[in-house]
């Protein structure tokens, strides 16, 4: 009895769960007395055990809540006792939910702090280097941020699986997905601001194309880990993907129009052969990248290219040379 009541803020040990299990057993066994002429005694015992259980669950909840608040280190060590606590608290859904919320809040602040540190400070001892040191390289900069978030999302899911591994109630998978969504929501704003800056700086059609596909790739990868539960994070990545596509096609169209103003065909006055060649080589990079992780179809890209049959009647004169260039 003393183990279950304990002291406020006192530790919870293995003996606590044994005592709680014994009280629950007594509560169930005493129901037999209700079928006999010992109903009064049975009811008194049941009431005592019920009150003792509520006291124990309240104490367990306070302890688990305190333990979850302390899980603010990057390496989250979920103890065996905390795992047992979650298993026991599933019998009290409200306390179970509140404890999960506390865990999510603690881990959310940890992930946000870790992301900002990765951007500005780097790892321990400066390895790896701060992500923002590569901001001059748009593709690497965006890729490093998304890779960090991908790893963090997978890690947080693993922490939750460890926390709830003994929980048998229905909806555990949904619980994990919901809490992961809450945890990752905190990084959406700093991520969005930085990727927007990269895209709106218009680093060029080829880089925009590659960034767009990179965003699409990580959207698919992260959703594969946590489903669509991390809704805010996935929505942010999708918004940046759509923005990069929009700026990409805008940049492509502008480039095409500039070349068209110069007549846009090799050997014709107004456009030097080197300009045409460089333009084609740039867009060959776009199309070759599409083969690996791209989502745009080649006709989507080609329709914007200057000098093609859709845009210029002289395409018939140069079609073979253009096709030869892009088939290399």
102-151 pLDDT per residue, tens: 999 999 999 999 999 999 998 877 788 999 999 999 999 999 999 999 99
In a domain, 64, yes or no: yes
Whether residue 212 sits in one domain with residue 95: yes
Residues 156, 60 share a domain: no
Residue 146 is predicted with a pLDDT of 97
Q: How confident is the model at residue 281 (pLDDT cuts 50, 70, 90)?
A: very low
pTM (two decimals): 0.79
Q: Which of 69, 91, 112 is the last residue of a domain?
A: 69
Q: Do 11 and 47 have their domain in common? A: yes
151 with 222, same domain: the answer is: yes
CB within 8 Å of 68: residues ≥ 6 apart: 82, 99, 102, 103, 106
The secondary structure of 50-99 as a DSSP string is HHHHHHHHHHHHHHHHHHHHT--SSS----HHHHHHHHHHTTSHHHHHHH
Together in a domain, 92 and 136: yes
pLDDT tens digits, one per residue of 188-243: 999 999 999 999 998 888 899 899 999 999 999 999 888 876 679 999 999 999 99
* Residue 32 scores a pLDDT above 80: no
Whether residues 247 and 122 fall in one domain:
yes
The rounded distance, in Å, linking the Cα atoms of 235 and 157 is 19
Q: Name the average pLDDT for the chain.
A: 80
174 in the same domain as 94 = yes
Mark whether 110 and 191 lie in a shared domain.
yes
Task: Name which residue leads in pLDDT, 310 or 10.
Answer: 10
pLDDT over 80 (residue 286) = no
In a domain, 74, yes or no: no
Q: Considering only residues 259 and 94, tell me which one the structure prediction assigns the higher pLDDT.
A: 94
Domain count, the chain: 3
Same domain? 65 vs 89 = no
Residues 51-69: what's their mean pLDDT? 92
Domain that includes residue 312, residue range: 262-326
Q: Which of 223, 238, 254 is the last residue of a domain?
A: 254
Q: Residue 276: is its pLDDT beyond 50?
A: no
pLDDT at 124: 79
Last residue of a domain, one of 254, 284, 307: 254
Q: If you count them, how many residues does the chain have? A: 328
- Higher local confidence (pLDDT), 250 or 113: 113
Residues 234 and 320 in one domain: no
Res 274 pLDDT > 60: no
pLDDT value, residue 322: 45
Joined tokens for residue 147: 């890779």
pLDDT per position as a tens digit, 292-320: 444 554 445 544 454 444 444 444 444 44
Rg (CA), the chain: 30
Q: 164 vs 290, which has greater pLDDT?
A: 164
């Amino acid at each position: 009895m003393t183990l279950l009541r304990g002291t406020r803020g006192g530790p919870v040990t293995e003996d606590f769960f044994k005592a709680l299990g014994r009280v629950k057993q007594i509560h169930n066994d005493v129901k037999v007395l209700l079928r006999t002429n010992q109903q009064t005694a049975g009811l008194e015992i049941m009431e005592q055990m019920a009150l003792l259980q509520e006291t124990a669950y309240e104490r367990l909840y306070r302890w688990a809540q305190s333990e979850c608040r302390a899980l603010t280190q990057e390496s989250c060590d979920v103890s065996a006792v905390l795992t047992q606590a979650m298993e026991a608290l599933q019998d009290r859904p409200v306390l179970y939910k509140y404890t999960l919320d506390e865990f999510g809040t603690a881990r959310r602040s940890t992930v946000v702090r870790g992301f900002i540190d990765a951007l500005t400070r780097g790892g321990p001892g400066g390895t790896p280097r701060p992500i923002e040191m590569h901001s001059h390289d748009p593709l690497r900069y965006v890729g490093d941020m998304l890779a960090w978030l991908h790893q963090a999302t997978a890690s947080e899911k693993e922490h939750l699986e460890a926390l709830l591994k003994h929980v048998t109630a229905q909806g555990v998978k949904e619980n994990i997905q919901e809490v992961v969504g809450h945890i990752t929501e905190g990084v959406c704003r700093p991520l969005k601001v930085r990727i927007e800056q990269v895209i709106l700086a218009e680093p060029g059609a080829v880089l925009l194309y590659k960034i767009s596909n990179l965003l699409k790739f990580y959207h698919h990868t992260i959703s594969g880990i946590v489903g669509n539960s991390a809704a805010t994070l996935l929505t942010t990545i999708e918004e940046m993907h759509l923005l990069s596509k929009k700026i990409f096609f805008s940049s492509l169209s502008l480039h095409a129009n500039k070349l068209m103003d110069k007549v846009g065909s090799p050997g014709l006055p107004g456009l030097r052969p080197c300009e045409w060649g460089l333009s084609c080589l740039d867009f060959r990079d776009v199309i070759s990248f599409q083969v690996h992780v791209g989502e745009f179809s080649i006709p989507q890209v080609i329709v914007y290219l200057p000098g093609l049959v859709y845009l210029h009647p002289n395409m018939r004169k140069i079609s073979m040379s253009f096709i030869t260039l892009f088939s290399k």
